[in-house]
Structure 1
């Protein structure tokens, strides 16, 4: 973050302190700091708008604008610091437990969108390292706002306030260039120049090979958000078709599938890609992998509407998840069948990671290593696997046509993962009337695997959490598993 000549704005300091208090589990203190920062930022923006309005009402200059209008207004650097403060406050309010704080997040959204648009969503030239550092900090703030609006879209199924088509800036630079402490270091790390956002997105939807259009970790993170946003609007269109079918057609889904696969290849080729949340370049590349899973899932299931996450009520969320429309199985050799299997493999892999580490260890420590995005995307993984296992159970004991190799592989993979937990299926080692899992009929086997998957995720989410929404999701998944058992 670039700090202007006037120093750091007090509302930004208070906003960082509020988030810090939340991470120290001082929720009440964090709430007080939140309200103070919110009040100061709002008042600073109001005063700036009042000055601009007074200047514009003056008849002294051309078109009725005062000749000193640009000098009497607050510098945009200071306004962007207010924007950075509001971004932190919006994030804090978004994941809070209480609905009245959630309303604050949605109110901040519109103010933040106005600030970003006022400063512009197009590139400007920089002639010096100091000028570039200021512009790069502002650019990263704008892209972070864009990404966070997309998170609101993912969680609450509401349209994002900044669209892909509005962004005409270059992508963020490399981490090395951003961290440069001198002009010489910056010049050495600033090449090659990042692609413009629109060019990078077009390359993802191209059938030509893609060579890391994002290059930097943050650049790739922005691009996967762009793809997820595109999927959202295509899904919206699919819901409005006259045939009443929400499934994506081949014409709708194939370009999106190509973009996701191109992004995955580009991410692997990027020098800043890592699956380590403690990577020196930061956890952004690791967070991008969660959004990759989400993109694959949403290509195959319309999981956005009806999850009731905005209620913050585990009971309502559990029933909303239970009532999500069943997954349509594509069991023939159609072009869409392998895509569903790919999404299921991503969901199963997401489950295997915390199980291998230790679900209770992850539950106690994930707050310091996993971002909220991993929890949100893990919910979608749990929902996809759950709905697929429900569909498997509905096939009956003797499905026709018989299970494919891919379906058997997914069932076996999920069972192998659960075998390392307390929610394993019964085996020959069990006493009592439990029969061998290999002899268990498909409906019973799929039903037990489904409940086990939900309970593993519920256990992980119900550990010590910084953000209350994660615990709410954990409680909801446990209730959902209880509903399945009944």
Structure 2
């Protein structure tokens, strides 16, 4: 074979994987077992192609002009060949995806499926980066063939973003979104038709409102006389909704932080997520938690986690873009997720041992209520897992925002006592977090990613007790000047001993990247520092700067308290640590000139500017999400306003 032929084969090494399967071969493929397809696929590939250049083991060079065919199937002798991890897309799995695509080709006619190697790296990124932070798919009991096409595309879209393949990520997103919107539309149509058919004979004498309620109830509860068939139908319906929910969640997690156009698309997906949560009910199914098989238990746990993770993400969108609450925490009747040790069991035997010793988690609503009760009895404290504590914290933040709404409306009894109860709940939550074995503040610890994220949200919760930044960020505009202008209209922050806990966490948040190295964390640890960290840190940065401005305004007439002196000392030490390592030349004129001044000689207004610039640099150097870069430029513009207006900002 000449060089041109080799080049053509190399470039077209898996072109047959991209082209759709003909109808006659599609039906034949669908009716055969996986083993038959895998056997034939392997032999057909060997007959038609001289192998693939993408190998996972170092090949041996052939002697002389020996055939390269001897190289194609080598693999590591130290690691026996196996089907590979869940996210490894083999030829058989890729053919399965092509088959799924052929069924709905009219929905996405121009979509070109990436190669199996590309899909492997996208799905690998999804399961190694996004999913560990919010685990809702149980890999040991999930078959790849169980995933819907929209799930595969959604997860791949998020994974492509983590691999910095933005064009492919967007293409995968739009394909997945088209399928999701089509699926949810079909479910709504089928539900309406079925409900009207079942209810028409018995509702003729009911008022319209009662008919509406009856239809709503009947659409979510199967008729009792259908017996086992009805149970199977209900399980199938639940599985379909969970699949759409998981797909929408992944697609929304990608699009919500992209360009303004994609943010608008994320709003459509948010509505799909809310629709799925409403249909699933956010309540436990009528099955005993202790009598399930491993597969049944895993299915129920995945359904539970998918709903809770979706609730948390919808709430995160609300924090970012100032949306009103779409799902109220008080309506969540699901149990909290199981412990990570039980979730992580790799075999049924291992799971049975763990499961026999586990205690079912209490419901979300019950755990939240226990924290909000004005009691300090430790015996009534909920026992939470790392993921469960993160989810409960979202509920506490929602309560803070609702309480502020009531306070602004001057609702009686909604001010001081309510804030004290929530602050007490946050203290109890912190004690629970400290007792969880996985809890850590090391972003490099894979076992502590969820607890690390929770620590960031705790700071946001304390800040929101005293400063309502929500309407004043304008992050949806992606315009740094508008963001800075809006922040400058925030209310002045007074001096109050009640601010000390929020200041403690705001200063602590600043200390972590400085201790680890701002540029190092921003550029190489972006996978651990999620959007939620950025949102929380953004609010902490603004809060700390405004407090420093209030000190500048009042310290001449109001002596500093012991705690305020300590806070200022900590801020100066953090800035000093940062100055000793930062490359000053990359900064503007302000920083180059001011760094010559000793940290101890800086007034509080200057300290505020420097803290904003530290966070600004950290956000601007993030390599994962452009949204975080915009936050950095917004803080830089806000720091300039701070400099221009002095202590008036």
State the TM-score, normalized to the length of structure 2: 0.67
1:29 is aligned to 2:173: no
Segments of structure 2 that go 5 or more residues without pairing to the other structure are 1-136, 204-217, 582-591, 645-649
Partner of 1:105: 266
2:608 counterpart of 1:456: no
Q: What is the alpha-carbon distance in structure 1 between the residues aligned to residue 360 and residue 411 of structure 2?
A: 46
Counterpart in the other structure of 1:323: 489
Corresponding residue of 2:623: 465
Distance 1:25 1:133 in 2: 33
Summarize deviations over 1:436-485 as a string: whole Å, max 9, x none. Answer: 665x5xxx601110110010001100114222210000011111111222
Quote the offset at 1:271 in angstroms: 2.8
Q: 1:344-368 CA distances to partner (integer Å, 9 max, x unpaired)? A: 1111111111111111111212312
Structure 2: distance between partners of 1:140 and 1:59: 32
| Among 292, 295, 317, the residue aligned to 1:130 | 295
SS of the residue corresponding to residue 21 of structure 1 reads helix
Does the Cα contact within 8 Å between 1:12 and 1:84 map onto a contact in 2?
yes
- Is residue 171–residue 214 contact of structure 1 (8 Å, CA) maintained in 2? no
- Gaps of at least 5 residues in structure 1 are 331-336, 425-429
Paired with 1:306 and 1:51, the residues of 2 have a C-alpha distance of 43
Query: 227-236 or 172-181: which moved more?
Result: 172-181
Deviations along 1:140-176, one digit per CA (max 9) or x if unpaired, are 0000011112112211222221111111111100112
Residue in 1 that maps onto 2:558:
401
Does the alignment pair 1:261 with 2:422?
A: no
CA shift for structure 1 position 290: 0.5
Structure 2 contact 403–415 (Cα < 8 Å) conserved: no
**Per the alignment, do residues 27 and 235 of structure 1 end up closer, same or farther by CA in structure 2, a change over 3 Å counting?**
same
Judging changes above 3 Å, is the alpha-carbon distance between structure 1 residues 280 and 467 closer, same or farther for their aligned structure 2 residues?
Answer: closer
Structure 1 pair 217–478 and aligned structure 2 pair: CA distance change class (3 A): same
Residue 450 (structure 2) aligned to one of 263, 274, 284 = 284
SS at match of 2:382: coil
Conserved 8 A contact 1:291-1:373: yes
CA-to-aligned-CA distance 1:109-151 (integer Å, 9 cap, x gap): 1211111221121112243221111010010000001111211
Q: C-alpha distance in 1, partners of 2:268/2:318?
A: 15
Q: Closer, same or farther in 2 for the Cα pair 1:433/1:168, shift >3 Å?
A: closer
Q: Does 1:310 align with 2:481?
A: no
CA gap 1:344/1:60 in 2 versus in 1, 3 angstroms: closer
Q: How many Å apart are 1:311 and its aligned residue? A: 1.0
Alpha-carbon spacing, 1:56–1:422, altered in 2? closer, same or farther (3 Å): same
Give 2:253's aligned residue: 91
C-alpha separation between the residues in 1 aligned to 2:540 and 2:580?
Answer: 18
**Corresponding position of 1:43:** 182
Q: After TM superposition, list the pairs within 5 Å mapping 1:168-247 onto structure 2.
A: 168-190=333-355, 191-206=358-373, 207-210=375-378, 213-241=382-410
CA contact (8 A) 1:203 1:210 kept: no
Q: Cα distance 1:144–1:60, how it changes in 2: closer, same or farther (>3 A)?
A: closer
Q: How does 1:417-432 map to 2 (within 5 A)?
A: 417-422=574-579
Q: Is the 8 A contact 1:423 1:456 kept in 2?
A: no
- Deviation, 1:213, is 2.0
Aligned length: 464
- Which string of whole-angstrom CA distances, capped at 9 and with x for unpartnered residues, describes residues 397-444 of structure 1? xx22311111111111111110122399xxxxx999977665x5xxx6
- Farther off after superposition, 173-182 or 184-193: 184-193
Higher relative contact order, chain-length normalized (CA < 8 Å, sep 6+): 1
CA contact (8 A) 1:9 1:78 kept: no
2:280 corresponds, among 108, 114, 119, to 119
The answer to which of 359-368 and 307-316 deviates more is 359-368
Superposed CA offset, 1:358-395 (max 9, x none):
11111212312211111111101101111001111112
